[in-house]
Chains A and B, each alone.
Chain A
């Protein structure tokens, strides 16, 4: 094959959704393979590896994100039905969840307020700009909720999505280690903390630990999304002058 015909094939394929959809799946499979090879090391996070490789590839080939997303949107779409599917492990743990409903609600309020307000306060203290701060505050909740909250606070939805995912990756990598240092090892507390502070990516990691840990993470993610959506949009403008 001549270099010219190679270029031609590339030009044709890179404009098709099929190429970037296939590459997204193939690179994810590679990332999962590396994760398993590492013995399930949290630092070898599949989302982190996949995103790093894809960004490098898109920048190297000069492909705009929008063209990439034309293909990857089919994977992105699955986030919806997969969120619905979280009801199945929740149902399996329902008795245990209901028996702990008091402590779970208190942990929700404490954890949610600490995660959201501290992000704003620390960012403000370090001199981050107003749109950045408004995009940081909802970073612990699942992407679509966080984007909606950020817009109401004057943030940038797409920047929020990035913060949400960076938060998720960080939580998925470090949560178990941090909690172990504090002597917190029970599945309920570990799972709940992971889902609350690092939403779906933390929940994905929690499911790797055990189904019970995953169920508590899924619950925390869901109720923290609800709680944050209902409180942060009015609480933050009220407290913002105090946090600066």
Chain B
């Protein structure tokens, strides 16, 4: 069986703490002084009827809006696979359901809240709404959820099982949950606790692609030798920069220290100060990398020295979670 070596990224859409469903953040990013910020929502009525929306929490509406936008821009109505990552799913409805459970003594529980409190609701909702009844899967691995979903899609492209896939990652953050997340150390001092819904459309073929995905690799506790080999293999054709999950918090940024030694001189980019930190953060980094390659430039807001860069060769997106889980995704301009 012929192994695929690249897949096109036909579109990428975001609803985050930046203006939604557009790339205005590249020129005029919204800036925040708060340490907890909810996503900026679009008018959902352009995507979802009031009747359909009434059982959807924020996460589901955002997942559907980014998915439908990505499918529309990419020109694919029915992708072969819908693969979704989410750290904690519709946590707001989960909270409501658990509150009712305690308040009502485990009686009189509302079915809608129960249905929405499961992690795989977003992926199945997208499947139902778009009439895509093919492969549908959800990965829930905290901050490694998107990476796992993307890897699944990549492997299925590689073995020829699918020709297109809608890959997304969606997480919401309620006020109560944001407190728990911070106490547990998932969001650290100096980082904005935020929300994100990202949808990316991948396909073997298609016009006007943002860029191509040339490889995805995941590791659990890799050795230094493994890291060196992976970085050497994936950056062999040269890249413009590395999209890192560095946030400015020292404890978090230490996990990316290996890049200084192993990729000396390669600019390191930071997307977390722009989009905040949540369980779908790595999807935001991937989306940002795809947008930079499409535009052929890296905006000053992402660079460490505050100067814009050209983007003609590609970006390696690197995510490190808890100093243990590593993912590497190589994005290149089309035709390179």
Please say whether chains A and B are actual partners in one complex. no
Which residues of A are interface residues toward B (Cβ below 8 A)?
none
Which residues of B are interface residues toward A (Cβ below 8 A)?
none
